[in-house]
Structure 1
Amino acid sequence: MTHRRKIAFLHRWIPAKLSILLFLLPQIQIAQAKANNDESIFLDDVPVVLSASRLTQPVSEAPVAVTVLDRQMIRDSGAWDLSEVFRLVPGMYVAYHADPYFSADSTVAYHGMVTTTTSDRMQVLIDGRSVYSGLFGGVNWSDLPIVLDDIERIEVIRGPDSASYGANSYLGVINIITRHPSDFQGASASVSYGTSRTEGIFYYGNKNGNLSYQITASERKDNGEDSMIHNPTSQVTFWTLNKYDNKNIQTFNFRAAYQASATDTLDFQFGYNGGSRQAGEYNNFWPASRTTDNHFEMLNWRRVLEGGSELTVKAFHTEERVNARLQDSDGFSNGDATFKRDDLEIQHTFSPTNTTRMVWGGSIRQDVTYAPYYLGVEENQYLYGNFPYRLGRLFANLEWHIRPDLLLNIGGMLENNSYTGTDLTPRIALNWHITPNHTIRVGHSRATRSPSVYEKVYEEYWRAPNLYPNLPELKPERVKATDIGYIGKVGKVDIDFRFFYDDYTDLIDVKNHNSSANGNLNAGDALMRGYELQVKAPLSEQTHLTYGLSGGSVNSNDVNGVVYSGSLPSYNHNLMITHQFNEQWRGSFVAYQIAKTKFNATDYNPVLGRGYYVDGNRRFDGKISRHFNLDGHQTEVAFIIQNIANAHYFEYRHDNQFPGRLARINVKMDF
């Protein structure tokens, strides 16, 4: 058997054997568990998640698979960009600075099927506030007003969750939960310096009676990728050069929490992100004179009601502005863009009976997008340059403990938007606690993705009288998702394993002329099957291991040349080992490996030897830190190296190359 065949055999054999093993392990303790019917044994010391169903639940009772990245994991990862943290999530594909034209930003995509650099099929929230952009869909990670050290934890829902968060929660949901103002009192400063990177951060927190507040201010300079591509796929000038992608990022965050009474709490947040960015390819654009000016305001009121119920009202306003002057073959163009969002949500959580809990509520939203260059309208056509999007939602989820060892979650979202009308996205899941430490979950859900503003405008373009006036209106993308999961604890080892089967239909393509000519912009479909495993194991009291593995396949009709088949890597590994040497010294080692991945990218060129596939890669990172007291101030000095092996590999496209070895030192001091 050849080496390649051995590898392929192992990746088929491992998940099959794991599934048998994980099924048999719980049987060992069934007899003991059935002898004790106390419900408390099924609420063992397991992680609690907030995002899966909008109810606070142990991860073993959530209706979907969830990965929790806690504060210590984020620090141990040595990540520089927020996007890099998600390399630790099974099934997640992260590409460094992949966007070549609007904002040289990273791609974070779950389960492949990446057709745009913004990865528009996944919802992203910060403290429950959607940061999913309306222009192209997806998220501009560098434009978010947040720093890594403000994050308390990140909950990643691995699978569709439109039942809880509506359209665009199509492949998964990321909810970034920040630190509460009461968690940090005093002042702190942090400085980082390294290869092409510098950053300074200042923190301040205080409490005055029932009011606690926190301020974070930072400035970051990042020179991005190497200017030249190492070992390019072609000697044609364009394929030897990387993007203009330097960044200068300033952020400011303010958060205040006020305990107005024994039952009422007010939480206010303000955030700002601004600065200069480069964005442009050598063959199309000169470096864009591009600056961003983004801010948000959010107010959250929470009232505790009788019997443990609660009512929350959340309102937020987001405004994202880009000022850009672009130069292409037609001369100079105005690349300005503005996106505004206003959202109001009401949510009520209560317990109808002793064995049930329920959350229900609704929200209204309006988005307005202005982007003459990207949407193909004249700058002075004000009425045509602003594109509104309106959304109304009703949602509910019921958690029912049928008996101590059997839990049913059932819920859904009813929503109406001004682009595609009304949709209902239901979900049902059954969790069986075979023993206190072993749970089987079976779930099925429906989810949708609404067209972005860019896609909606493109649809109207194709429907022009001189093109295809009878073209049907765009519909939302749809998925039927089924998964079988196991959540267990074997000794001190935590295991989360699942199989998934997702059937995608009505996939949108508006760029390809053939899609319009054939009279269907929703012609795509794909069938995805695969597995995911995540393991957390203490190797000793001082040493801990975290491991993730995923793989599977995608079959598609690849209609009109839009390629989805093969877009899910056959395997994707992540591994992190941390060790606490003593009270002062701590170290971590992180490794990533991914198989070759197919992308529906624009650099497909068989003549130059470039197919849709981007080769697989592996990467190693390391961090060592020392804590000590310096003149009465708690101080930490950390040394981080990313890409230790100095590997020059491509991500997403054959002109998007991760930089070589990157080293930096970070000093943080509390005052």
Structure 2
Amino acid sequence: MNISRSWRRRLCVLTGLWVGSISGGVAKEVVNPFSLSFDELLEQQVTLSSKSAVALDVSPSTVTVFTRQMLDRLAVTNLYDVLNYVPGFQVTRGDWVGAVSKEHARGVFLDNGYVLFMIDGQRINEISFGKASVYMPYIALDLAERIEIIRGPGSALYGSNAFMGVVNMITRKQDNVAKLRVGSHGEKSLTASYQHSISKDVTGHVLLDYRDRSGATHAYQEELVTDPQTHWYLQAGVKAGDFTLRARANESNMDGFINLGGASADNLYESKNVALSAEYQWWQHEGSQLTTQLEWSEHHIATSGLVVPANSWLSNDFFTGPNWITRNLKFSTDGVWQWGQTTELSAGVTLLKAKQTQAGTLTTHIAPDRSDFQLEDNAYLGQITRFDEITVFNDLMASQDAKTAYAQLKWQAAERLTIYAGMRYDNIERLDANWSPRMSLIYQPTAQQSWRVQYGQAFRTPTTNELFSRDSVTVGNPALQQEKIETIEGIWRWQGQQSQLEVVYFHNNMQDFVDKVPADGQSQFTFANTQSHRMRGIEVSANIRLSPSLESRAAYTQLFDKPFSDSYKRYGQVGLGYQQAPWSINVDALWRDEINTDSVFYQGSLVLVNAKISWQGTANSTVFLEATNLFDKEYVTYEPRVSGLSMPGEQPRLSLGYEYRF
């Protein structure tokens, strides 16, 4: 698909599709009308914050929800990019062991997994790097039926990594749909969802997503590099009465782009994940239930980046990267008990066995005994070579088993006053036991508004890389303890028939942050619990219905303290949506303030515009056109891991798609 670089021509394409669709005649009557997303928010309920369904205005956590209809109006396609539409969060593409998404969460921009990501309640974050996006850099939004996001601490229910937030993607299991997309930079994608009732009590579903693109061309350190990507995801499940079985697998390939700070056409990136889960609901009655789950997952990464270019003392480029595998096995039982009309108890126990089972490398230079890397010409292998084991990484093959228990009490103290109080206990192998309390007081003076005061603590367990690495650059510190955060939030929320407003004030005290420090008497670095940090801010969001078919939405975040690791201090989003069958037209503008790292790096404030137009031609089919970075804004994002401190920003993307529901 040949797409012009001129934004004017992009606008012509958008307009041309619109006019051309109109000239095609009158659309047939639709059975799935394009209702306003605002209508969905009026009666919205969430389960992520309390383990049982509660309305947004009485949730014990600050929660943002995206339904399928809301997601269909966004031009972005990756789950991580949805965080740009969430108050308190931003996402930029950075570099770790490949070009992956990095979260800016309430003033914290770090690499080690401060936001917990889950698919159908099963965690993606693993123990070697901590971040979900390292092993799973692309999660297609087309897979989602619904996304629930906790803004703030979630360890009282979900343990480690639920530090600054929790994101749970609930996949499609109850619809039959096929979606095709083609676009700029060779983009091609296919998503299909199919569910079938096998018998009265047995249903099955299959979910597939495949996407490929040849890649945009980016300027990076005075060179031009391309960004090819291929991703696939497959999920299948069956529900028989009270028993549910699900399996999923995915793979991502992003060869030839930026990796470990170096850009080379020979860079390699491949990740694979496999997961199984079985769930049995022992009983359910009048709001009470008891469920047992068994989950298993395995995470593979094989990646190699250009670390040292050929020079006067090294005749060939030095490439290296991890060839690692981690596994999780989790057994859990969760229950919710209703006592009368005023009291609800949620409680559960978990046994987790997590282990890194492989610590090899993909490299071009290695010592003859495979004990360590060797940057000498006589150690050159002729090409990037895969090793499943290397002695210098052996200490990484460690476990992080855990035993946990939590309990949470919900008490309707008065007609307009609800109180939540909870606590979680985590006993993690080789580390101190951790307690994560939470409390929420919710007062509803009227049916339209609520006031909440929330307190919570959360933690992050150090990764195996931070605890046990032992190479020429870093030395792990087995004495590390969990990073901790203490959060107080005040929330005012208004839910009317024509408007929804929310104001959140948060105050975070972060303790024992893991930081790199020089190792004693060596040129290496080690890790230590050294830093404490205070972060305060305000998050404002609004949805306003301007007419029966027109709505506006806006969000703004202001931090009062200097962000940690040079994140954005102010940012926001405004959008306008028109929904009138058969049309859906949505435009969003994302604004970010400047980043200035003491004259070392500077990026001025910027606005990125995304747009999507959909036309429902029949009751079962929809054509859509979507564009990101519509006005071709050239920009970079701050990335402290690369020598130039910057990563190229997203280039304009335009795609045409077709969805058929059957």
TM-score (norm 2): 0.81
Are 1:552 and 2:543 matched, yes or no?
A: no
Give the alignment partner of residue 617 of structure 1, picking from 589, 606, 615.
Answer: 606
Change (3 A) 1:353 1:307: same
- Deviation string 1:616-649 (CA, Å, 9 cap, x unpaired) is 32100111111123xxx82211111111111011
Instruction: Tell me if structure 2 keeps the 8 A contact 1:270–1:297.
Output: yes
Instruction: Tell me if structure 2 keeps the 8 A contact 1:580–1:586.
Output: yes
Give the alignment partner of residue 346 of structure 1, picking from 333, 339, 343.
Answer: 333
> In structure 1, what is the equivalent of residue 537 of structure 2?
530
Give the alignment partner of residue 480 of structure 2, picking from 474, 478, 482.
Answer: 474
Deviation of residue 333 (structure 1)?
4.2
Whichever residue aligns with residue 249 of structure 2, its letter is Y
Instruction: Tell me if structure 2 keeps the 8 A contact 1:419–1:451.
Output: no
Are 1:575 and 2:574 matched, yes or no?
A: yes
Whichever residue aligns with residue 203 of structure 1, its letter is S
- For 1:591 and 1:223, the matched residues in 2 are separated by 27
Deviation of residue 472 (structure 1)?
8.3
Whichever residue aligns with residue 532 of structure 2, its letter is D
Counterpart mapping for 1:573-612 below 5 A: 573-581=572-580, 583-597=581-595, 610-611=600-601
- Deviation string 1:124-176 (CA, Å, 9 cap, x unpaired) is 11111111122111112783785322212111111112111112211111111
- Residue segments in structure 2 that go unaligned for 5+ positions in a row: 1-40, 309-316, 364-369, 373-388, 640-644
Instruction: Tell me if structure 1 keeps the 8 A contact 2:135–2:271.
Output: no
Counterpart mapping for 1:307-386 below 5 A: 307-324=286-303, 326=305, 328-329=307-308, 331-333=318-320, 335-369=322-356, 370-373=358-361, 379-381=389-391, 384-386=395-397
Task: Select between 474-483 and 218-227 the one with higher mean Cα deviation.
Answer: 218-227
Are 1:121 and 2:124 matched, yes or no?
A: no
Give the alignment partner of residue 169 of structure 2, picking from 166, 172, 176.
Answer: 176
Equivalenced residue count is: 581
Deviation of residue 104 (structure 1)?
1.6
Deviation of residue 567 (structure 1)?
3.7
Are 1:47 and 2:44 matched, yes or no?
A: yes
> In structure 2, what is the equivalent of residue 420 of structure 1?
431
Instruction: Tell me if structure 1 keeps the 8 A contact 2:89–2:103.
Output: yes
Deviation of residue 273 (structure 1)?
0.9
Deviation of residue 347 (structure 1)?
0.3
Deviation of residue 458 (structure 1)?
4.1
- For 1:253 and 1:518, the matched residues in 2 are separated by 41
Instruction: Tell me if structure 1 keeps the 8 A contact 2:260–2:306.
Output: no
Are 1:106 and 2:101 matched, yes or no?
A: yes
Whichever residue aligns with residue 344 of structure 1, its letter is F
Give the alignment partner of residue 269 of structure 1, picking from 246, 271, 275.
Answer: 246
> In structure 1, what is the equivalent of residue 31 of structure 2?
none
Give the alignment partner of residue 188 of structure 1, picking from 174, 178, 182.
Answer: 178
> In structure 2, what is the equivalent of residue 17 of structure 1?
none
Change (3 A) 1:518 1:144: closer
Change (3 A) 1:636 1:344: same
Instruction: Tell me if structure 1 keeps the 8 A contact 2:473–2:525.
Output: no
Deviation of residue 316 (structure 1)?
1.2
- For 1:387 and 1:580, the matched residues in 2 are separated by 53
| Structure number having the greater helix percentage | 1
> In structure 1, what is the equivalent of residue 33 of structure 2?
none
- For 2:188 and 2:660, the matched residues in 1 are separated by 17
Give the alignment partner of residue 190 of structure 2, picking from 184, 200, 206.
Answer: 200
Whichever residue aligns with residue 83 of structure 1, its letter is Y
Secondary structure of 2:568 counterpart: coil
Deviation of residue 289 (structure 1)?
3.2
Instruction: Tell me if structure 2 keeps the 8 A contact 1:326–1:335.
Output: no
Deviation of residue 374 (structure 1)?
9.7
Deviation of residue 223 (structure 1)?
3.8
- For 1:346 and 1:131, the matched residues in 2 are separated by 19
Deviation of residue 243 (structure 1)?
5.5
Give the alignment partner of residue 490 of structure 2, picking from 484, 487, 495.
Answer: 484
Task: Select between 517-526 and 658-667 the one with higher mean Cα deviation.
Answer: 517-526
Deviation of residue 461 (structure 1)?
9.3
- For 2:191 and 2:234, the matched residues in 1 are separated by 10
Deviation of residue 332 (structure 1)?
5.0
> In structure 2, what is the equivalent of residue 8 of structure 1?
none
Deviation of residue 271 (structure 1)?
1.1
Instruction: Tell me if structure 1 keeps the 8 A contact 2:109–2:564.
Output: no
Deviation of residue 518 (structure 1)?
12
Task: Select between 385-394 and 586-595 the one with higher mean Cα deviation.
Answer: 385-394
Secondary structure of 1:521 counterpart: strand
Change (3 A) 1:271 1:65: same
Give the alignment partner of residue 628 of structure 2, picking from 621, 631, 642.
Answer: 642
Deviation of residue 255 (structure 1)?
2.2
Counterpart mapping for 1:25-40 below 5 A: none
> In structure 1, what is the equivalent of residue 419 of structure 2?
408
> In structure 2, what is the equivalent of residue 33 of structure 1?
none
Give the alignment partner of residue 298 of structure 1, picking from 277, 284, 288.
Answer: 277
Counterpart mapping for 1:515-526 below 5 A: 521-526=528-533
> In structure 1, what is the equivalent of residue 441 of structure 2?
430
Give the alignment partner of residue 667 of structure 1, picking from 649, 654, 658.
Answer: 658
Deviation of residue 326 (structure 1)?
5.0
- Deviation string 1:26-81 (CA, Å, 9 cap, x unpaired) is xxxxxxxxxxxxxxxxxx95421111122221111111211111211211011122
Instruction: Tell me if structure 1 keeps the 8 A contact 2:42–2:497.
Output: no
Instruction: Tell me if structure 2 keeps the 8 A contact 1:472–1:519.
Output: no
- For 1:584 and 1:525, the matched residues in 2 are separated by 53
Instruction: Tell me if structure 2 keeps the 8 A contact 1:515–1:521.
Output: no
| Structure number having the greater strand percentage | 2
- For 1:405 and 1:461, the matched residues in 2 are separated by 61
Secondary structure of 2:547 counterpart: coil
- For 2:282 and 2:137, the matched residues in 1 are separated by 29
Change (3 A) 1:493 1:459: farther
- For 1:175 and 1:283, the matched residues in 2 are separated by 30
- For 1:319 and 1:490, the matched residues in 2 are separated by 46
Give the alignment partner of residue 289 of structure 1, picking from 263, 268, 272.
Answer: 268
Deviation of residue 669 (structure 1)?
2.2
Change (3 A) 1:56 1:228: same
Whichever residue aligns with residue 110 of structure 2, its letter is T
Give the alignment partner of residue 257 of structure 1, picking from 239, 244, 250.
Answer: 239
Instruction: Tell me if structure 2 keeps the 8 A contact 1:69–1:154.
Output: yes
Change (3 A) 1:512 1:541: farther
> In structure 2, what is the equivalent of residue 152 of structure 1?
145
- Residue segments in structure 1 that go unaligned for 5+ positions in a row: 1-43, 230-238, 260-264, 556-563, 600-605
Deviation of residue 241 (structure 1)?
3.2
- For 2:183 and 2:474, the matched residues in 1 are separated by 53
TM-score (norm 1): 0.80
Instruction: Tell me if structure 1 keeps the 8 A contact 2:136–2:271.
Output: yes
Instruction: Tell me if structure 1 keeps the 8 A contact 2:181–2:187.
Output: no
- Deviation string 1:301-355 (CA, Å, 9 cap, x unpaired) is 1233444311111111111212345554374546312121111110011013431
Secondary structure of 2:445 counterpart: strand
- Deviation string 1:258-314 (CA, Å, 9 cap, x unpaired) is 22xxxxx22221111125322545974643233333211111212334443111111
Are 1:246 and 2:222 matched, yes or no?
A: no
Change (3 A) 1:519 1:343: closer
> In structure 1, what is the equivalent of residue 407 of structure 2?
396
- Deviation string 1:532-560 (CA, Å, 9 cap, x unpaired) is 011112111111222111111335xxxxx
